[in-house]
Amino acid sequence: MPRYWQGLLFIPRSARGHRQRETVEEQSYPEAVLLLRKMPVVSSDIKSDKNEEEMMNVYEKLAEARVEFMKTGAKMSGKNTFAGYTYFELSDILPVINRLSVSIGFICEVSFDDNIARLVFRNTEKPDEKITFSSPMSTASLKGCHEVQNLGAVETYIKRYLYQNCFEIVESDALNMTHGKTDPVKKSEPVQVTTKAPAVDWSARAAALTAEAGITPERKAQIWADCGKTPEKYCAYIEKLMAAQVDAEAAAPVQGEIF
């Protein structure tokens, strides 16, 4: 006799003497036994087929998960102060998705290899059904971090993007927000620039003054020796002579016609 009949008739039964006890039960409760025997028996195969028909396939579950995630109104806690926008962090996404995975019946499997990162959305009621999302791996070089920390940063970023791609999670377009922006320029103290006068070619200057003053070679040799054979002193001396000559000419009386 099936086990649930025992509970209905309140008749304890053990493995031994099964047939003997069943005969006693039939004799003691003939009407109840006949009634239960007439009850239709539901085939376990038919029941399982019905449940399988009621199960959603993996695409239906993903579509429902995307809609349910949107309904939760998850908040973005990440902030980019440079570009002035907010974004989702894994701590904003994973708690919501984990709750949805239990209620809808799916699981997300993330894996990484040297070149490709993958997220597999799997139907837990039909494990053979899955949808795979992939992304190329990248690199990072964070200041003050060793190789393992840089690897962790890469995996964290790509994992977040895989979840966003899988569940169609939207946020501000970081590329548009940062396009055309440059780092702020720090104000610096004005730099004082000292402009040097162009170097004077004293030898050429001495030759020009000598010709302009009409000094003979003998006189030039004498002045050159008196100035210690220094071009600067020689030029200064010739300029002084020329200035004195101009003053003398200006002081001389002008001779003209008498009317």
Q: pLDDT (tens digit, 9 = 90+) per residue, 30-80? A: 555 455 555 554 444 444 454 666 789 999 999 999 999 999 999 988 887
Q: What span, in angstroms and rounded, lies between the C-alpha atoms of 126 and 76?
A: 33
- pLDDT value for 46: 42
Domains defined along the chain, listed by start: 56-174 (3.30.390), 205-248 (no CATH)
DSSP 8-state secondary structure symbol assigned to residue 80: E
Q: What angle do CA 118, 119, 121 make, to 5 degrees?
A: 145
- pLDDT value for 223: 85
Burial (CB count <10 Å: 0-12, 13-18, 19+), residue 101: middle
H-helix segments, the chain: 3-9, 18-28, 30-38, 44-54, 58-72, 90-100, 147-166, 174-178, 202-213, 217-226, 231-251
- pLDDT value for 72: 92
Picking from 158, 58, 182, 17, the residue whose alpha carbon sits closest to that of residue 25 is 17
- Pick out the chain residues at pLDDT < 50: 4-11, 15-16, 24, 33, 41-48, 50, 254, 256-259
- pLDDT value for 86: 86
- pLDDT value for 7: 47
